Amino acid sequence: MRNASILSPSCEHEKALRRFVVGNILEKIDDNQPLKFFSELRPLTVVFVKLQFYESIKMPGLCRSIQEATVHISGTIESLRGKILKISTFGKCCTFLCVFGLPGDKRMDESTRVLDTAMRISDFFSENHMKLELVSIGITSGQVFCGVVGHPSRHDYTVVGSKVQMAARMLVLYPGLIACDEVTYSKSGLPSRFFKKLPDKEMNDAVTSEVMYEYLGRKKNP
């Protein structure tokens, strides 16, 4: 057992740790709701953003770039009440798991706005030279389990499900693109000329039954 797991209650520690908990969950904690009520199946939009930096970038520069990227992505999705749930780094790659539609954050035009937000994020990194080799974004919509997972002494609030896995897999199958699933494409209500159908590829050892699309954006297709 880690020492941090058996520390006595401390207002100072709690105040510091609250900054790392999603606001939606803090409200439930402050209302003294049992953890079992935190978990549910709900329709969400899942967005993975993968930044591939050049191998030549040094560690101090990489850390500064990831911090800048985090601030920009967080600020960009905030207007849609989107949240960054997880940031993962591996070598010179950094991946952000963002979700839209958590309790209290659902919006009717979510799919449309998420696609436009993804384009703004992609354009920002393309226009600002941050020693990035590639920017890949995967977007899916559908029923997702969101709730508390892990050991009772060390758990986390996250999202799990086939739609989450599909969004993550898109980063590998369609690198350098803004890719979305058929549900997001349909719910957006945008004209088909804003999209390009992507070739079928194997996903989890099988060809997915869904059609995948590349979002080209509004400006590129007036």
Domains of the chain, earliest start first: 39-215 (3.30.70.1230)
Q: Following CA atoms 1, 21, 113, 133 in sequence, which dihedral angle do they give, to the nearest 10 degrees?
A: -50
pLDDT of residue 1: 72
Three-class HEC string of the chain: CCHHHHCCCCHHHHHHHHHHCCHHHHHHHHCCCCHHHCCEEEEEEEEEEEEEECCCCCHHHHHHHHHHHHHHHHHHHHCCCCEEEEEEEECCEEEEEEEECCCCCCCCCHHHHHHHHHHHHHHHHHHCCCCEEEEEEEEEEEEEEEEEEEECCEEEEEEECHHHHHHHHHHHHCCCCEEECHHHHHHHCCCHHHEEECCCCEECCEECCCCCEEECCCCCCC
Q: Tell the burial category of 179 from Cβ atoms under 10 Å away from its Cβ (0-12, 13-18, 19+).
A: buried
Is residue 35 within 8 A of residue 114, CB to CB? The reply is: no
Blockwise average pLDDT, block size 10, the chain, 222 residues: 80 88 87 87 95 91 92 92 92 94 86 94 84 92 91 85 93 94 94 92 62 83 49
Query: How far is Cα 123 from Cα 121, in angstroms, rounded to an integer?
Result: 6
In terms of C-beta density within 10 A (0-12 exposed, 13-18 middle, 19 or more buried), how is residue 73 classed? Answer: buried
Q: Which of 110, 111, 95 is nearest to 175 (CA)?
A: 95
pTM (two decimals): 0.89
**Are residues 197 and 169 in contact, defined by beta-carbon separation less than 8 angstroms?**
no
